[in-house]
Chains A and B, each alone.
Chain A
Amino acid sequence: AQSVTQLDSHVSVSEGTPVLLRCNYSSSYSPSLFWYVQHPNKGLQLLLKYTSAATLVKGINGFEAEFKKSETSFHLTKPSAHMSDAAEYFCVVSGTGGFKTIFGAGTRLFVKA
């Protein structure tokens, strides 16, 4: 069985400061892991994905995430927040074969000027 826990429902940062959105996963198989972003009243956009290659994954808009098997974590980071990063972020897991994709509950990121 697979599950995803996003450890913070809301995160607030100041513009120009680092962003850390935390995600822990559980999977019976070698997982594929993803981060998606959703801006208000918009659809879902893929930020980055991990599929058993490099453990440090770089995505769009300066985001990156590190897969840590020992900690079952896949935290999303960005060195410097921008106002346009304000959105909801979802950590997502798929099992071996890539099917049955499960979402975390989401973390809403607020960016203060």
Chain B
Amino acid sequence: NAGVTQTPKFQVLKTGQSMTLQCAQDMNHEYMSWYRQDPGMGLRLIHYSVGAGITDQGEVPNGYNVSRSTTEDFPLRLLSAAPSQTSVYFCASKGGETEAFFGQGTRLTVV
């Protein structure tokens, strides 16, 4: 049972480049979400999804797009990377009242 798998673990982008952070879970969880972690600010919710075909914005959605075509996958897209998006990104999945299960994180640097 792999749980939540995030790829890549590390990425360096140039300003203006685009990329997709991948997230997959094998627990059949309905709820998936993306967070960014910055020093002193905890984890802030970027986007979340309560099921295939349903997504919504979190606290800091600007500059990010998501889609949820299957229960298992929830990719996060940066259309035009900016230095302010340098951060550590975590994907999570959750099944109802259970705790959230997190991926190992992606450390993204935008230069």
**Which A residues are closer than 8 A to B by beta carbons?**
6, 9, 32, 34, 43-44, 46, 49, 51, 90, 92, 94, 97-106
Contacts and interface: CB of A to CB of B under 8 A. Distances in A.
Contacts, number: 53
Interface in B55-78: 58
Given A46-B99, A49-B99, 15 more contacts: A6-B42, A43-B102, A43-B105, A44-B90, A90-B42, A92-B100, A94-B100, A98-B94, A98-B97, A100-B33, A100-B45, A101-B100, A102-B45, A103-B35, A106-B40
Given A104-B42, A105-B41, A98 B102 contact: no
A44 B92 CA distance: 10
Interface of B: 31, 33, 35, 40-45, 48, 50, 58, 90, 92, 94-100, 102-105
A106 B42 contact: yes
Given A43-B105, A44-B90, A103-B35, A98 B40 contact: no
B102 A44 contact: yes
B11 to A, nearest CB: 16
12 contacts: A43-B104, A90-B43, A94-B97, A94-B100, A98-B94, A98-B97, A99-B31, A99-B50, A101-B94, A103-B42, A103-B45, A106-B42
